[in-house]
C-alpha cells in the first residue's frame, strides 16, 4: 500500500487521523471486552458520533480553506494519488477484439484504396501508351513527309543539275 511507503510517520496530522479512523475499525471491540449497553460502549458511541458530526467535517473544511495544508496525509493521498485499476481478462479480450476489428476495417479500406489506385494507374498507363503510339505515328508520318520532300528536292536538284549540265555542254559545243 502507498500509505505505508509514501506517508510520513511523524506527522501529528497523520497520527491524529489514524487514531480518529481507528474508532471505526470493525475489530475495535475484539481487543476490549465491551458489552452492548455498557459505559465503554456508550463512550465509544459518543466518540464516533462526535467524530462523524463534528471533527471530520471541521477537519475537511479547514483543509479546504487552507488548500489542503491541514488535511492529514491519508486524505491528501486519497484525493490526489492515482489509483491502479484492475483490468480483467474479459476487458483485455474486449479491447483486443476491438483493436482487431479496427485493424480489419483499416485493411479492407486500404485494400479498396489500393484497388482503386491500381485501376486508375492502369487507365493512366493505357492512356500514356495510346499517346505514345499517336506521337510515334505522327513522328513516322512527319518523317515520311520529310523523306518525300527530300526525295522531291533531290529529284528537282538533279533535274536542275542535269539541265545546267546540258546547257553548259551545249554552250561549249558551239
Show the 3-state SS of 51-64: HHHHHHHHHHHHHH
Domain limits at 30? 2-80
Three-class DSSP category at 68: coil
Sorted by sequence, the CB contacts under 8 Å of residue 81 that are 6+ apart come out as 2, 6
Query: Would you say residue 63 lies in a domain?
Result: yes
Q: What is the pLDDT of residues 22-41, one digit of tens each?
A: 777 766 666 666 667 778 77
The domain total for the chain is 1
pLDDT band for 96, please (50, 70, 90 cuts).
very high
Higher pLDDT, 3 or 78: 78
What is the distance of C-alpha 163 from the center of its chain? 89
The C-alpha cell 501508351 sits at: 129
The reply to whether 167 falls in a domain is: no
Residue 151 located in a structural domain: no
38 domain residue, yes or no:
yes
Per-residue confidence at 3, pLDDT binned at 50, 70, 90? very low
116/112 Cα distance (integer angstroms): 6
Residue 130: pLDDT band by 50, 70, 90 thresholds?
A: very high
Closest C-alpha among 9, 79, 23, 85 to residue 54: 23
| 8 within a domain of the structure (yes/no) | yes
pLDDT at res. 166:
81
Structure letter (DSSP) for residue 26? T
Identify the pLDDT of residue 38: 75
In a domain, 143, yes or no: no
**How is residue 137 written as a grid cell?**
505515328
Cell of 165: 549540265
Average pLDDT over residues 59-78: 80
Does the pTM exceed 0.75?
Answer: no
Q: State the pLDDT confidence band at 84, using cuts at 50, 70 and 90.
A: low
Q: Residue 82 — φ and ψ, nearest 5°?
A: -75, 135
Per-residue confidence band for 2, with pLDDT thresholds at 50, 70 and 90? very low
CB atoms within 10 A of CB 88: 8
Q: Considering the chain, what percentage of its residues have pLDDT values greater than 90?
A: 36
Is there a domain that residue 86 lies in?
Answer: no
CA atoms within 13 A on the CB side of 170: 6
Q: Is the pLDDT of residue 43 over 90?
A: no
Q: Is 123 part of a structural domain of the chain?
A: no
Amino acid at each position: 500500500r502507498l500509505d505505508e511507503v509514501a506517508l510520513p510517520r511523524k506527522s501529528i496530522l497523520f497520527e491524529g487521523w489514524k487514531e480518529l479512523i481507528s474508532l471505526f475499525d470493525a475489530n475495535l471491540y475484539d481487543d476490549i471486552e465491551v458489552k452492548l449497553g455498557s459505559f465503554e460502549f456508550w463512550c465509544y458511541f459518543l466518540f464516533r458520533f462526535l467524530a462523524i458530526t463534528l471533527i471530520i467535517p471541521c477537519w475537511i473544511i479547514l483543509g479546504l480553506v487552507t488548500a489542503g495544508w491541514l488535511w492529514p496525509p491519508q486524505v491528501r493521498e486519497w484525493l490526489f494519488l492515482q489509483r491502479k485499476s484492475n483490468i480483467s481478462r474479459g476487458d483485455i479480450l474486449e479491447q483486443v477484439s476491438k483493436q482487431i476489428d479496427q485493424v480489419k476495417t483499416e485493411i479492407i479500406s486500404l485494400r479498396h484504396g489500393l484497388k482503386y489506385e491500381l485501376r486508375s494507374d492502369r487507365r493512366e498507363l493505357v492512356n500514356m501508351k495510346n499517346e505514345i503510339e499517336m506521337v510515334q505515328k505522327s513522328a513516322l508520318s512527319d518523317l515520311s513527309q520529310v523523306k518525300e520532300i527530300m526525295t522531291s528536292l533531290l529529284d528537282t536538284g538533279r533535274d536542275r543539275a542535269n539541265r545546267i549540265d546540258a546547257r553548259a555542254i551545249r554552250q561549249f559545243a558551239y
